[in-house]
Structure 1
Amino acid sequence: MSTIRKTVRAGQALLRKGRLQEAQAKFDEALAIRPGHAAALHGRGQVALEAQVADEAVPWLERALAANPGASDVLRSLTRARQLAQQAGASSAPAAAGGLVHKGRQLLASGRIEAAVAAYQRAVADAPGDAAGYCELGNAWLQDGRLEQAERAHRESLRLAATHPLTHLCLGEVLSAAGRRAEAEQAHREALRLKPNYGQAWLRVVQLRRYRAEDVDDLRALRRLVERSEWDAGDEEAAHFALGKIYDDLGQSDAAFEHLRLANELHKTAQPFEIQPLLTLMERIEAVCDEGLLARFEGWGSASEVPVFIVGLPRCGSTLVEQIIASHPHAYGVGELRRLARLTGDLPARLGSQLPFPDCLQQLTRKTARGVAEDYLGRLTRDAGDQALRICDKMLSHLLLIGLIAVLFPKARVIHCQRHLMDMGLSIYAHSFSGAGVGYAYDLDDIGRYDQQCRQLMSHFERLAPMTIVDVHYETLVGHPEPEIRRLLAALGLDWDPRCLEFYKAKRQVRTVSEWQVREPIHTRSVERWRHYEKHLEPLRKYLE
């Protein structure tokens, strides 16, 4: 059985169990490989239908029927969805609000953040006493980078339902992104007071601190919970990641690795991942985005020099690089924008193509290229202000989109962040990641294979792409910061500014697992940290160049 068929069947099994978000993730995974897969499209429509978001279900089911004309099961689902959509206007306000919340979730999952915010705003307007609706609105505002609005929404949710642990957790994440460490820890600990075995809250608390030998209370409490507690989905995994972090801080590498191993095994059991389709996609990107394709589309994109794409693997130093650049008075950082990935996902439909990405690029038109470039550039520059000559987007998976970026923004800069595989691989393995697209992160061999394929793909584009591509090595940056930062700024066309050396003083939001490391001066503590774990990292060693 093919991998895509296995993925779709896993989604169908989850759908039958009512596990809608997990089912949606499986169907999305299949559609990322083959956007026109009829069964996956039908599955996405069924997820929306079961979530009572009929108007969201209809377009998915119409695409499924177009991909498999005459399919009676798809036709039945589409008929039902259309009937429910017509009846929606007669819903009561609370029911309508519930439908809007479901719609917001669907939009958020597909990367349509602004539309999701609008749906949630309508939901809380229709049902102003719905605490959960305000919490979800706050999460959408956070993804959109609007921290003040996110905090207000979460505090309104808590005013309505002060004993909801999830809302305290979400508020803590907003405060953490804003750099308000003490308040963030207080919010997370309140979540733990309400739910002592809340593994996700434990992980957030532990990430806010560096533990020393005398800090025993959290360690004892977590060990007792791991030994005795019943866990909700994902919380046991998070608790083991938290224990791994504490033991690492204390220098007990064997104990730390054992808990990291358990956390990663729990994740793989709950969310199985097969890396080969991702590697095959990357090979196909290299084959399609060749010299002929790039030459054919020359001059089709935007002439803007504003975008700076930071790419690489997680834990490669990308957040540090963005923080340094964003400290320049003529630069800005937007964090990780999902806009270009969403626009890429929409390309086949936009082109009227049955081919998935990257093959659909063969049918690209000048009008579509300009439209996609303008759409992305509008979002990139939305909050930056007139002084920003360069704006960083550090969505690392844009590495897979370098060929498209070469067409859309031939004068952009690309910063390829790199780090010694053993240190980077260990750091990836030691962290729990939110969102899709990092299934490889929970297996050392997968990390090595993905890194190898990324290097091959970047080598290809360094030879062919018209943009300036700058390699930044983490060890060089932290070992010799000033000359390396000067070189980086020069490559971006920016004058030297000493504020880039004091990046840790910048008052800006950071929403990655490195959010606290970049709020302290540069250090070399993480260089060759892997040697403490050397005996555990054999699966990575064979991928060293």
Structure 2
Amino acid sequence: MTYPPPKALLRLPPSRNKRVRSGIAAIRLLLRKALLQEAAVQLQQLQQHEPANVEIALLQAELLTLGGDHDRSCQLLKQILSRHPGLVPALVLSARAHTAAQRHLDALDALQLAHQLTPQDHDIAKQLAETLVLLRCPSKAIAVLAPLVRKSKSPADIAQLAGLHDKAGNLEECLAGYDSIRPPIPDIHVLKAGALLVRGKKSDARAAVDDAILAAPDNASLRLFVAKNFADDFDPARQAQEIDTILASPGASTLSAEDRARLGFALGLAHERNGDFAKAFRAVEEANSHAKPECFTKDQQLEKVALGIAEHFTKARLAQLAPAGNASQKPVFVTGLPRSGTTLVEQMIASHPDAASVGELELIPALKQSLVSLQSSDIKRCAQAWLDAVPESKTDKARIVDKSISTVLHTGLAMLMFPRARFVFVRRHPMDIYWSAYREMFGMNALTFTYATQPLVRHIQLSEHLMSVWQQRFPDRVLTVKYEDIVNDPERHIRSMIAHTGLDWSDDCLEFHKSNSDVRTASMAQVREPVYKSSVGKWQAYHSQLAPVATALADLIANYEKAPA
């Protein structure tokens, strides 16, 4: 039986005690100013006057969340909601605490009920949409956001909705949304070109690029987009000269660090295509200095967690927990280091008539905190969240390929969710990995370890270690392939990969470059071409500049080069 939601309760009756009311107002001001110690003292005093006051309890929960004690905050809010199930402020605060604790499925529950109770609340709707996007449910996010965008008509909201249509596979709605923005926002033509190129519509994307060149020839996003995806269409020497002119212009002083990084990476690619490797290396070094985050604490924490997962989820432990997982054989996790060839492998498998790809889903990091509880209900729910993220048009396929780079770090969690899933690890020469990743602009908040030598070297070493651990532990579930072997003998290795997934052979897999599936990675232009070998050994053009890196990776290089195909 389905019960109706509780009646919305937007606020509670204020305290009859004037001193308590003024104290509550004062504490709210302290919390807004992040003066947590002062707020805690005053809260304690107020609780002595009215220990059952729900407003005070809400302030206590907010204080706990701001102080990082998310578990106690969620427990307190659970108690409040058990007495006042329709109290919207408690639901919103509960979602905030769960989000801060990275328990996004619990945050989703709270936000869905809050939105159901107050569908006109713009802030709640936006929070719900953001959570749905985080959980890779763009179509559901569109349903929440679209009514608000029709009312607001804000260019930023329209662009956000158009981007969601892009992710949901609605190209016409995406392009119509971008075209409706007046006046056009920066990067609009690049966004359109990207949406087209994702779907292999290169000629249409080129037309959008031409529009962009006319509208904003100095745009940094455009310069990098062209350098990465349309390099053959433009003279590299001229491109390098034009970028140098932009960087030397009086307006360059107002460029953001991100735009300087974009222009630098684009310049490096232009010099490389022109055969001037010394200038290319200097440009890439300069670009990384602008893209480089101030610290890599987050990356170091991720590495620590990854080692902990590998240590905890032994073969025996995963066998013990297997009944809590989902028995589906649909998931195929393709992973490896960035720029290792994972997109190529993904397309080869997904070109099978009984397979489809969801691209870089990158959902496990959002589910991680729920999974580590090791509660059967949490494991089942996380596995279902992964399955729910598969677009409806692909749910009938026998295999779904998830090409997430982060799976290298979270292999144990993927195995926890899906005890019958298959994994394909893609390896590549460590120096080609290093240079290809180091010269790439992934985004200011993505793969930050690639923007400096030491973190990138450390991540290569860590990932190689983790891949070896899981390969040795689960040789029946993990297939390791080498990029160089694939490009040298594609049919042999494609057959091996298809057999590993449990599918019968299809000649369609040899025509992977003709696939019409979406590709959103840095390789989205390259995988539309047949297999080529020009990327093998590309780092050798920078042999002298990269000598210190080669020394740091010497053991990995020696092991890789002597390993059999």
> How would you bin the TM-score normalised by the shorter chain?
0.7 to 0.9
Answer yes or no: is 1:155 the counterpart of 2:155. no
Distance of aligned partners of 1:40 and 1:418 in 2 relative to their CA distance in 1, 3 Å threshold: farther
1:417 counterpart residue number: 426
Answer yes or no: is 1:314 the counterpart of 2:314. no
Answer yes or no: is 1:273 the counterpart of 2:296. yes
Unaligned runs of 5+ residues in structure 1 are 1-14, 17-35, 46-52, 67-84, 348-359
* Cα deviation code 1:361-408 (max 9, x no counterpart): 3x422233222222312323633153x221101011012221122222
Residue 487 of structure 2: which of 478, 483, 486 is its match?
478
Partners of 1:413 and 1:464 lie apart in 2 by 13
Distance of aligned partners of 1:56 and 1:454 in 2 relative to their CA distance in 1, 3 Å threshold: farther
Question: Residue 470 of structure 1 aligns to a residue in which SS?
Answer: strand
Distance of aligned partners of 1:54 and 1:111 in 2 relative to their CA distance in 1, 3 Å threshold: farther
Distance of aligned partners of 1:146 and 1:471 in 2 relative to their CA distance in 1, 3 Å threshold: farther
* Cα deviation code 1:451-482 (max 9, x no counterpart): 21112222222233486101110000001111
Answer yes or no: is 1:194 the counterpart of 2:215. yes
2:462 counterpart residue number: 453
Partners of 2:127 and 2:329 lie apart in 1 by 39
Distance of aligned partners of 1:200 and 1:498 in 2 relative to their CA distance in 1, 3 Å threshold: same
Partners of 1:201 and 1:105 lie apart in 2 by 27
1:58 counterpart residue number: 93
* Cα deviation code 1:57-89 (max 9, x no counterpart): 6236556999xxxxxxxxxxxxxxxxxx99x97
Structure 1 residue 136, shift from structure 2 partner: 0.8
The answer on whether the counterparts of 1:138 and 1:150 sit within 8 Å (CA) in structure 2 is yes
Structure 1 residue 174, shift from structure 2 partner: 0.5
The amino acid of 2:163's aligned partner reads N
Answer yes or no: is 1:468 the counterpart of 2:503. no
Distance of aligned partners of 1:194 and 1:101 in 2 relative to their CA distance in 1, 3 Å threshold: farther
1:500 counterpart residue number: 509
Distance of aligned partners of 1:240 and 1:377 in 2 relative to their CA distance in 1, 3 Å threshold: same
Residue 367 of structure 1: which of 377, 380, 386 is its match?
377
Answer yes or no: is 1:120 the counterpart of 2:153. no
1:231 counterpart residue number: 255
Per the normalisation by structure 1, the TM-score is: 0.76
Distance of aligned partners of 1:299 and 1:54 in 2 relative to their CA distance in 1, 3 Å threshold: closer
* Cα deviation code 1:326-373 (max 9, x no counterpart): 11111111111133332224x0xxxxxxxxxxxx63x42223322222
Answer yes or no: is 1:170 the counterpart of 2:156. no
Residue 511 of structure 1: which of 513, 516, 520 is its match?
520
Partners of 1:537 and 1:443 lie apart in 2 by 13
Residue 229 of structure 2: which of 208, 212, 231 is its match?
208
Question: Residue 186 of structure 1 aligns to a residue in which SS?
Answer: helix
Paired residues for 1:385-396 under 5 Å:
386=396, 388-396=397-405
Paired residues for 1:58-137 under 5 Å:
58-59=93-94, 62=97, 100=125, 104-105=129-130, 108=133, 113-127=138-152, 129-137=153-161
1:50 counterpart residue number: none
Distance of aligned partners of 1:443 and 1:173 in 2 relative to their CA distance in 1, 3 Å threshold: same
Unaligned runs of 5+ residues in structure 2 are 1-32, 35-63, 74-87, 102-113, 557-565
Structure 1 residue 172, shift from structure 2 partner: 1.6
Per the normalisation by structure 2, the TM-score is: 0.74
Structure 1 residue 422, shift from structure 2 partner: 0.4
Structure ID, larger Rg: 2
The amino acid of 1:240's aligned partner reads G
The answer on whether the counterparts of 1:189 and 1:201 sit within 8 Å (CA) in structure 2 is no
- Taking only the aligned residue pairs, the percentage that are identical comes to 28
2:47 counterpart residue number: none
2:347 counterpart residue number: 323
Partners of 2:332 and 2:100 lie apart in 1 by 40
The answer on whether the counterparts of 2:471 and 2:479 sit within 8 Å (CA) in structure 1 is no
Distance of aligned partners of 1:207 and 1:176 in 2 relative to their CA distance in 1, 3 Å threshold: same
Structure 1 residue 441, shift from structure 2 partner: 0.9
Residue 251 of structure 1: which of 251, 275, 284 is its match?
275
The amino acid of 2:216's aligned partner reads K
Distance of aligned partners of 1:90 and 1:272 in 2 relative to their CA distance in 1, 3 Å threshold: same
Aligned length: 462
The answer on whether the counterparts of 2:325 and 2:383 sit within 8 Å (CA) in structure 1 is yes
Partners of 1:102 and 1:515 lie apart in 2 by 31
The answer on whether the counterparts of 2:352 and 2:508 sit within 8 Å (CA) in structure 1 is yes
Distance of aligned partners of 1:403 and 1:213 in 2 relative to their CA distance in 1, 3 Å threshold: closer
The answer on whether the counterparts of 1:444 and 1:537 sit within 8 Å (CA) in structure 2 is no
The answer on whether the counterparts of 2:330 and 2:400 sit within 8 Å (CA) in structure 1 is yes
The answer on whether the counterparts of 2:335 and 2:405 sit within 8 Å (CA) in structure 1 is yes
Partners of 1:39 and 1:466 lie apart in 2 by 45
The amino acid of 1:480's aligned partner reads D
